[in-house]
Structures are given as C-alpha cells and as structure tokens.
Structure 1
Amino acid sequence: MATETGSTGAPASQPADVGLRREMGLIGATWASETSIIGSGWLFGALFAAQAAGTAALLGWVIAGVIVVILALVHAELGGMYPVSGGTARFPHFAFGSIAGISFGFFSWLQAVTVAPIECFAVMQYGSYYWHGLYNATSGNVTGLGFVMTIVLMASFTAINFLAIGLFSKVNAGITWWKVAIPVLTIIVLLFKFHPSNFGAGGGFMPFGIKALFAAIPSAGIVFAYLGFEQADQLAGEIKDPQKNLPRAILIAVTIGIIIYVMLQVVFIGAIPHSLISGPLGWAGIPKTNEIAIGPFAGLAGVVGLGWLAILLRLDAFISPFGTGLIYQTSTSRVGYGLGRNRYYPQLFTRVDSRGVPWFSLIIAFLFGLLFLLPFPSWHSLVGLVTSASVLMYAGAPLSLSAFRGQVPEAPRPYRMPGATVMSPLAFIFANLLIYWSGFEVLWKLAIAIVVGYVLIGIFMYFDPQRPPLDWRSAQWLPVYLIGMGIISWQGQFSGASSSDKHPLPPTITGNIPFWWDMVVVAAFSLAIFFWAQATKLKRADMLDLVARQSAQPVDDLPEMPRH
C-alpha cells in the first residue's frame, strides 16, 4: 500500500489503481487531452459561433478560453496530487463522500459516454459530401444509413481500445500529430484569403447583442470544442511519473487548443465570401444547403478556390472526430473503472484483461453510447446536453480542491494552483455560469438523465456489501445546489433554444430575473453553495478512510471502517 505521512504522524494512504499499467509518457498524456480538444469542434465551431454571435464569436472563444484555463489549473493540481484513472469521478468522492461523489461521478460518466456519438455524427455530416445518403442537409439529421454507419464507427472505437495502453497511446499520438497539423495549415493558408472588411459585415461586431454571445458559448459549440483537457486526469492511472507529467500535459494541451481555436475563428471570419453575410440576416443567413454550412472549413476552402485544401479537410473530417471519439471511448471506460473503484458501479467495471484494459467497462461504454444515438440524431442536438453534463462534472473539481487544501494540507502537490483561495470559488462561479447559459431547455433534459443515474447507482450499491457509507451530512448542500440552479435557469434569461434552428437566437425570453442581474444571482448562489460545501466537507479521518479503501490493497480485503 502506498502511503504518505500525515501531520499527525499516522500514515495516510494514497489511492492506487489495480491492474492498470503506467505506460504513457508526457507526449502521450498531452496528446490524450489534445486529441479530445481538437475534434469535431474545430470542424463546426467557427461557423456555428459566428452564426450565433457574429464577429463577437471571437470574444466568446476568449471568454471560454479563460474559464477553461482556470478549470485546467484546478485539474492540474488534483491530478498531480491523486493520479488515479477516472479522476473527475473520484475526487468529489474523497472530499465529500458517496452522496456527492455519486452525483459528480455520474456527470463524468454521462458526458464521456455521449461524446463518441457526437464525433460519429460529425463524420457522417462531412462524409455526406462524397456519400450523399449519410446526412440530410435539409433536416439537419443523419439518415438511416448514417445511423448504421455511426454504429459501425463506434464499434471500431471499441475494438481499437482493446490494445494495451502503451500501443494505444502510440496510435493516438500519430493521429493527434495529424489533427494538430491540419488546423495549423488551414490557418496559415486562409490568412492569404483574408478580407479585413468582413469583421464589420453581417451587422457589425455584435449584431445579435451580448445576450446572444453568452448563449453561444455553450450552445454553439465553443465550450464543447474545449472539452477534453481533463483527459489526462481520466487516464492518470496509466501515466508514467504522473505527479510531473500530468499537470504539464493538461496545461500544454489547453494552451495549444486555445491558440488554434481563436485563430481558426479569425481566419473563418476573414476568408468567408462577403456575399454570404451581407444579407438582412447577416451571419445567420447562410443557407443550410450551402456547402459551407454542411462542411464549414472544407466548404470554405472550395469556395475560395483552394480545392486541394478542401480535399485534405474532408479527409481530416474523418480523422479528427475519429481520434476524439477513440479517446473518449477510452476515458469512458476509465471513468467507469473509477466508479467501480468507488463501489458505485458493480465490480465487473474494475476487471481488466491481460493488457490492462478494463474490458467490461469498455463494452458498456459502447452499448450505452448507442442509446444516445436514438433521441439525438444530429451534432447540434447533443452538444448542449454534453456541455452541461461536462460543466457539472467540472464544478466538482474546485469544490474538491478547496476541500483537500483543508483536509490534507500536507499532501504532496507537484503542481500547486496559485491563489486557490480566490481561484477555486471563481472557477465554481464560472462553471455555474456556463450551466446557466446552456438554458432551461437543456437543463431539464439533463435532470432526467441524472435521476436515471441515481436510480441505477442506488440499485448497484444496494446489492454491494462493501459499498461506502452514505455521507448525507457532507452532501446536504447538493440538492439545494441542483434544484437551485434549475430554478434560476427557469426564471432566467436563457431558454437554451437549439442553434440549429433557422435563426440561432433564443426566442422571446419570459424569465423574471432581469438580464445582468441573473448572472449576479448565479454568482451569489454559487458562492453560498461553495462555502456551505466547505463547511460540511468530510472530516480528515473520514476522508482518509475513503482514500485507504482505494489504496493498492484490494478493496475487498480492507476491514470495515467506522465513520467519525
């Protein structure tokens, strides 16, 4: 059992993962996060963000980038401190116990399991340029044939994931070098087709107002594009020298991603034909059947006379989403493994094969991913749900970081987030603003998924005699938090209307909380929940008990531990 020495002199256990192999280096860990960031988001994000917010989409990428950097710093400390697989599902468990852990753990699994289908939809939409039966441009949905091919694609993700993590890391690294190189090449080439006058076209810098800008950050795919920086945390149990490599990997991946996405938005705005955005609807007036609307960058390259680049981008439209879907299938299986280690999911989820692959968790990730193909037949219709689930997952990280600072201040922290006293509550506020901007239409659907998750996990834990204690006291703030965010969203200024509608702006808002005041309410509510959670976090001894139950020693061999 790995240990560290506590301030009291008693040994304090370190969590460890049984059966997984540490075969992934710094480059592999960095590319695990980067391949998640550079996925279908780069293929569609610039168009949808511009349609929703005009040229002000640039500001949206910067705002979201700042938020993601702060959240990445939080994850860098947590991952270096406790480098365990499926970390986002396990940190809240250690800090607040099983009740809070179930919620944030299920958010982690839910967002991970839904990303692979999104990436498959992106492949079908771009692939329809050559194979017209895959996607219906008029309805904005994949066809029956596209649905079948999506299943085939997801099955290939699962098959490749049965490779040992060392070999898988090499395959993923090769794909990611390509995925980074192609957007960079696109930026360089389109700079030669740049028209500065486009930045004043389509109704000016912010044609739809600042409210539309905030709504676009979650709904138009901006935040979705940045998702995945935490992948190194999810694979931490398989990273070499994780205390050093993991924080570095997260920060390098985020920096590269933000630079690429901001520059992609710049060149997209600058290179698009002026005639497409000079009509009465401006950026929102690009026809759905236009080749730019179907495949934004490939279509744009074709329109401006760069046929060779269009061919290259349509090839990349398969490789980029494929790489992201592949790594998310990996992370879903590791989050499931982590939930098994938490004893929320059955112990079958922790079973690994001779190559160190959690095979049962991987198969379940494939099967549940298929379920999300049924009610959400397009890229757009899944983005809002996944973004909200992801941000709910991210909200647990600053809560956990602040709790750990109080519970185990002496624990080794290879990376220590500067100004955590201020930055942790600020990160929690930002996460909740992203949830709020997603809109009530998205949140009520997410609430249904959460209820289903509680029921399933409750059944699993009921039949597990080794389940952890139910820590009601340390999660007393949780139902107030979830219900409160729902009420604020219901009474607020963002409906969450799909930006795949003919006009991307939300319909007339009828909320009772005025604009600007609504964000003040979210911030104040977030601070109240944050400090309430810190006041009721697990006591040090109880927190260390939960960590000890996930030490290198098999959980079933540990004695029952009394709660304090």
Structure 2
Amino acid sequence: MTSLAQQVFRRKPVGQMEDETGADTGKSELARTIGLAQLSMFGIGATIGTGIFFILSQAVPVAGPSVIISFVIAGVVAGLTAICYAEMAGAVPVSGSSYSYAYATMGEVVAVGVGACLLLEYGVSAAAVSVGWSQYLNQLLNNIFGFQIPEALSQAPEQGGVINLPAVVLVCLCGFLLIRGASESAKTNAVMVMIKLGILGMFVVIGITGWNSDHFSNFAPAGLTGITSAAGIIFFSYIGLDAVSTAGEEVKDPHKNMPRAILIALVAVTTIYIAVVAVALGAQSTDKFEGQEAGLSAILEDIVGSTWPGTVLAAGAVISIFSVTLVVIYGQTRILFAMSRDGIIPAVFHKVNPRTLTPVPNTIIVCIVISVLAGFVPINFLAEMTSIGTLVAFLVVSIGVIILRRTAPNLPRSFKVPGYPITPILAIAGCIWIIQDLRIVTIWVFIIWVSVAMLWYFAYGMKHSHLGRGEKAGLIAKEQS
C-alpha cells in the first residue's frame, strides 16, 4: 500500500511530460507558433516594465553613484537564477514554468506550493502593474490633451475612487489578444518591446550629452551596506526573465529556443539597465534623485530645456505596462493550463478552443479575477505579495537543477549551467539573502497563502491527480481514447 508520503512526493517523469505535450514530436495541444525572436521579446517585455523609469529615486539615495554596482549585483543574482531556468527549460520544455520543474524534481505537493507562488508572481503582479497603468495614462492624456480620467474612475475605493477603470480595460484588452492566439500576442508584444527599447535608447543618446564626471566623485557614500541594500531594492526590476519558461508548448524547437531566449533576454535587460543608470548618474547629481517623480523625464527636460521628453517617456511607461501585463497574464494562463492537465485544479482550465488553439475559458476566468483585483484593490498590497512568490519560485528552480542532475544525469540537456554546482548554490544563497530582508508581515501572509494551497491539494488535487490515478494527461490521452 502506498504511504501518504509516497503519494504527496510522487514525481512526474520528464519523459512522460514530453510525451503528453509533444515536446519531441512537435505535436501539441497548443499551436507551436513562437520563434526565438518573439520568445526573447517575451522575456524582455515581462522584465523591462516601469521599474527602470522610476527605481532610481529609491535606489540612488541609498547607494549614491555606486548604485551602478548595485545594478550589477542584482543582475548577477537574477542572472544566476536565469541560467538555472535556462537549463531546466531546455531539459523540461513544457508549459508551467517552475511548477512543472518542481513536479519533475521534488514531487507533487511541492509543485502545488510552487503553483501557489506563481499565482502571486503572475496573477497578482498583473493586477499590480495594471493598476499603475492608469497613473501614466492620465499623465500622457494630460500632457497631450490637457484632460485626465476622473479620480472616481481611476482609483480603487480605498484610495478615494469607485473603480480603477483603465486597469480593468487594460486587462480586458490583454485577454482579447490572448484569446485570438499566442502568435498574435507574441507579435503585439514584440512591437511594444521595440518601442519601449527605442524610448530608453533615446534617453541614453540625449542624456549622455549632459554628462558630468564630477557626479561620480563621492562614489560610495554609504559603503558596502548602501550598495547591497540598493541591490535588494533593484532586484525586483529583473523579475520577469522566467516568463519565457511558461511558453514551452507554443515554441518552435523548445529544447534549443527556450534556453537561448532566456539568455538573450538576460543580456539585453542587464545591458539596457546599466546603460540607462550610468547616463542618468552622469547627467544629474545624486542629491536630486531622492523623491524625484518621473526621474528620467526630469533629467531629459533639464538637458533639452523642454517638456516634450516627459510626454515621450510617459508614452513609454504606458507601452511598458501594457507589454508586461500581456506577458504575465499569458504566463498565468499557461501555468493554470499545466496544473489543470495534471488534474490538480478543475478541467475547465485545460479546455482549448479548436479554432484558435488557446485555452479560452482559462483566459476569461483569469482576466475576470485580475480585473477585480486591479479595479478594487490598492497597488501597494498587490506589489508586496508579488516579490516573495517570485523569489520562492526562483529558489525552487535552482534547487531543481541540482536534484535533476542527480536523479536524471543522462537526460538530454540543450544547455547546462556553467560552473555547476557553484552556480545554482549561489543562486539559492542570493534568493535567501533577499527573502530575509522582506517585511515579516509579507512572509506571514505568504505562509498563510501557501497553507490554503495545501488545503486545496489535500481536499481536491491529490484525489484528482492524473499521476496518482496512473493516467496520462493531455494530447497522448486524447489520441489513445
């Protein structure tokens, strides 16, 4: 008789995952339409949001000009994790991101816990960033037309409004694109990413004309403590690189293209961030950053003596948020798709429209829930819960690399983590270092949230698990029926 421990820690073989999703045969329940370029744009689009437009006002006062080093440290920690994701994505090229990786390496109950983390990382963060969209949309409308959406229709009730309508509209627009098809969504995202990269490129080109080396004279006023503290603040600007790993079943040649796309996104994002930060520090003295709103806009306005940069960068922020929201909602639907296929959550999340080859009911449900959160819940609460979910998911993937190397040493890997096992160990240490700096209330709310997920698992998921029943899910099961 199977013990409870054997049931909850049962692992899903990687070979079975690949059979069910058609990773090797090219057959899939979802349409494989996304190429390397579009997939790379997924990672870049999910990562470069509004953070780089506004993070300097928080980080520069802490570290001074040495904030450049803080960006490098944060990039290294995120990069170590991204490299671990690249190995796992190449070895287990399926939808579900770290949920699927945990299922293959640590067992079903751990995978459910990670799934709960991903609900925070993707679902809650989609609501958080869409809430911010109304602020920048109002700024853009005011700069161009002298008109703003009334506060009653652009703020949550707790902030004096009735509903954040622009946030709801944004989520609905993203849902419409995702229902039409993954290819259309990927193309739209690629266009938006190119626009916001162009705007950041414009900042670098114009900003460097105001360069003053004296701004770097007192390089590290708070020493190593300031550098590491700022790195913790900055780290969250790198969240999103893992979005590539949610698209495993809609990617052409996933074994090769998924790790490549993660690495391309990592290099592109890190390069852009450091270029923007270096130019910003060269163009403006550090004492002006604290409390500065729309900092990049203010820097360019001082250099050119005009207000037009504010309008351009507001447009960049609007496009950035649209792009981020689109990708994270996409990621959320694919994670739920994978969990539903395994029987962990109801089958409605696994239903695919035969014409568009997209999980339409899943997308509609996700967008309704996110719309409610975005329309009625303040942004601060939403943002706090995103961070810890992401870090725990990162932590699990780094541990998963070590476990899979031991349990399946001969598994084909299109990319291997360099410097193994030091690299995943450093990634684990980096995630723990940042988690321990989070507020205690955030950690407690997270523990309660995961506990609720565990209750769901023991009440529903364990009984309905296809692996527990000895069933094959997905495409192969349909072909055999």
Give the TM-score taking structure 1 as reference length. Answer: 0.73
1:437-448 to 2 correspondences below 5 Å = 437-448=437-448
- Render the CA deviation track for 1:260-300: whole Å, top value 9, x for unaligned: 1112222222323x4x827xxxx54x3xxxxx41x222233
Amino acid at match of 1:194: W
CA offset at residue 159 of structure 1?
A: 1.4
Question: Which residue in 2 is equivalent to 1:553?
Answer: 476
Question: Which residue in 2 is equivalent to 1:331?
Answer: 331
Contact 2:343 / 2:461 at 8 angstroms: preserved in 1?
A: yes
CA offset at residue 444 of structure 1?
A: 2.0
DSSP-derived class of the 2:412 partner: coil
Q: Take 1:451 and 1:277, find their aligned partners in 2: how far apart are those partners?
A: 45
Amino acid at match of 2:273: Y
DSSP-derived class of the 1:161 partner: helix
- Pair 160,198 (structure 1): closer, same or farther in 2 beyond 3 Å: same
Question: Which residue in 1 is equivalent to 2:25?
Answer: none
Question: Which residue in 2 is equivalent to 1:414?
Answer: 414
Contact 2:109 / 2:457 at 8 angstroms: preserved in 1?
A: no
Amino acid at match of 1:400: G
DSSP-derived class of the 2:437 partner: helix
Match of 1:108 among 110, 118, 142: 118
DSSP-derived class of the 1:410 partner: coil
- Render the CA deviation track for 1:235-259: whole Å, top value 9, x for unaligned: 0110001111111111011100001
DSSP-derived class of the 1:420 partner: coil
Q: Take 1:12 and 1:157, find their aligned partners in 2: how far apart are those partners?
A: 34
Contact 1:55 / 1:269 at 8 angstroms: preserved in 2?
A: yes
Q: Take 1:447 and 1:27, find their aligned partners in 2: how far apart are those partners?
A: 38
- Pair 143,51 (structure 1): closer, same or farther in 2 beyond 3 Å: farther
Question: Which residue in 1 is equivalent to 2:342?
Answer: 342
- Render the CA deviation track for 1:368-415: whole Å, top value 9, x for unaligned: 32454478523x554342122101011111211111112221111111
Contact 1:54 / 1:206 at 8 angstroms: preserved in 2?
A: yes
Q: Take 1:383 and 1:217, find their aligned partners in 2: how far apart are those partners?
A: 18
Contact 2:82 / 2:242 at 8 angstroms: preserved in 1?
A: yes
Question: Which residue in 2 is equivalent to 1:42?
Answer: 52
Q: Take 1:161 and 1:109, find their aligned partners in 2: how far apart are those partners?
A: 18
Contact 1:22 / 1:238 at 8 angstroms: preserved in 2?
A: yes
DSSP-derived class of the 2:241 partner: coil
- Pair 381,194 (structure 1): closer, same or farther in 2 beyond 3 Å: farther
In structure 1, runs of 5+ residues without a counterpart are 1-9, 287-291, 471-544, 559-564
In structure 2, runs of 5+ residues without a counterpart are 1-12, 22-27, 143-147
CA offset at residue 205 of structure 1?
A: 3.6
Q: Take 1:150 and 1:125, find their aligned partners in 2: how far apart are those partners?
A: 10
Contact 1:13 / 1:551 at 8 angstroms: preserved in 2?
A: no
CA offset at residue 467 of structure 1?
A: 4.7
Higher helix share: 2
Question: Which residue in 2 is equivalent to 1:93?
Answer: 103
CA offset at residue 332 of structure 1?
A: 0.7
CA offset at residue 20 of structure 1?
A: 0.7
In the alignment of these two chains, the number of paired residues is 451
Amino acid at match of 1:183: L
Q: Take 1:340 and 1:468, find their aligned partners in 2: how far apart are those partners?
A: 12
Q: Take 2:82 and 2:117, find their aligned partners in 1: how far apart are those partners?
A: 17
Question: Which residue in 2 is equivalent to 1:308?
Answer: 308
- Pair 373,235 (structure 1): closer, same or farther in 2 beyond 3 Å: same
CA offset at residue 114 of structure 1?
A: 1.6
Q: Would you say 1:199 and 2:216 are equivalent positions?
A: yes
Amino acid at match of 2:369: F
Q: Take 1:134 and 1:127, find their aligned partners in 2: how far apart are those partners?
A: 13
1:8-87 to 2 correspondences below 5 Å = 12-15=15-18, 16-17=20-21, 18-87=28-97
Question: Which residue in 1 is equivalent to 2:231?
Answer: 217
Contact 1:70 / 1:423 at 8 angstroms: preserved in 2?
A: yes
CA offset at residue 555 of structure 1?
A: 8.2
Question: Which residue in 1 is equivalent to 2:10?
Answer: none
Worse-superposed segment, 144-153 or 71-80: 144-153
Q: Take 2:189 and 2:115, find their aligned partners in 1: how far apart are those partners?
A: 26
Contact 2:207 / 2:299 at 8 angstroms: preserved in 1?
A: no
Q: Take 1:206 and 1:386, find their aligned partners in 2: how far apart are those partners?
A: 30
Q: Take 1:186 and 1:317, find their aligned partners in 2: how far apart are those partners?
A: 13
Amino acid at match of 1:336: L
Amino acid at match of 1:445: V
Question: Which residue in 2 is equivalent to 1:298?
Answer: 297
CA offset at residue 358 of structure 1?
A: 1.4
CA offset at residue 211 of structure 1?
A: 4.0
Question: Which residue in 1 is equivalent to 2:370?
Answer: 369
- Render the CA deviation track for 1:64-90: whole Å, top value 9, x for unaligned: 101111111111111111110122211
Question: Which residue in 1 is equivalent to 2:207?
Answer: 190
Question: Which residue in 2 is equivalent to 1:516?
Answer: none
Q: Take 1:196 and 1:27, find their aligned partners in 2: how far apart are those partners?
A: 37
Q: Take 2:67 and 2:82, find their aligned partners in 1: how far apart are those partners?
A: 22
CA offset at residue 124 of structure 1?
A: 2.2
Contact 1:98 / 1:469 at 8 angstroms: preserved in 2?
A: no
Amino acid at match of 2:322: F
- Pair 55,162 (structure 1): closer, same or farther in 2 beyond 3 Å: same
Q: Would you say 1:269 and 2:281 are equivalent positions?
A: yes
Amino acid at match of 2:367: F
- Pair 133,213 (structure 1): closer, same or farther in 2 beyond 3 Å: farther
1:161-180 to 2 correspondences below 5 Å = 161-180=178-197
Question: Which residue in 2 is equivalent to 1:120?
Answer: 130
CA offset at residue 233 of structure 1?
A: 0.9
- Pair 315,432 (structure 1): closer, same or farther in 2 beyond 3 Å: same
Q: Would you say 1:151 and 2:168 are equivalent positions?
A: yes
Contact 1:384 / 1:438 at 8 angstroms: preserved in 2?
A: no
- Pair 367,205 (structure 1): closer, same or farther in 2 beyond 3 Å: farther
Q: Take 1:266 and 1:334, find their aligned partners in 2: how far apart are those partners?
A: 37
Question: Which residue in 2 is equivalent to 1:401?
Answer: 401
Question: Which residue in 2 is equivalent to 1:234?
Answer: 246
CA offset at residue 38 of structure 1?
A: 1.3
CA offset at residue 357 of structure 1?
A: 1.1
Contact 1:93 / 1:342 at 8 angstroms: preserved in 2?
A: no
Question: Which residue in 1 is equivalent to 2:256?
Answer: 244
1:374-389 to 2 correspondences below 5 Å = 377-378=378-379, 381-389=381-389
Q: Take 1:557 and 1:433, find their aligned partners in 2: how far apart are those partners?
A: 48
- Pair 368,264 (structure 1): closer, same or farther in 2 beyond 3 Å: same
1:451-530 to 2 correspondences below 5 Å = 451-461=451-461, 464-469=463-468
Worse-superposed segment, 209-218 or 262-271: 209-218
Question: Which residue in 1 is equivalent to 2:358?
Answer: 357
Contact 1:72 / 1:254 at 8 angstroms: preserved in 2?
A: yes
DSSP-derived class of the 1:365 partner: helix
CA offset at residue 51 of structure 1?
A: 3.6
Q: Which has the higher contact order (CA 8 A, sep 6+)?
A: 2
Amino acid at match of 2:264: I
Question: Which residue in 1 is equivalent to 2:433?
Answer: 433
DSSP-derived class of the 2:414 partner: coil
Give the TM-score taking structure 2 as reference length. Answer: 0.85
Amino acid at match of 2:349: F
DSSP-derived class of the 2:73 partner: helix
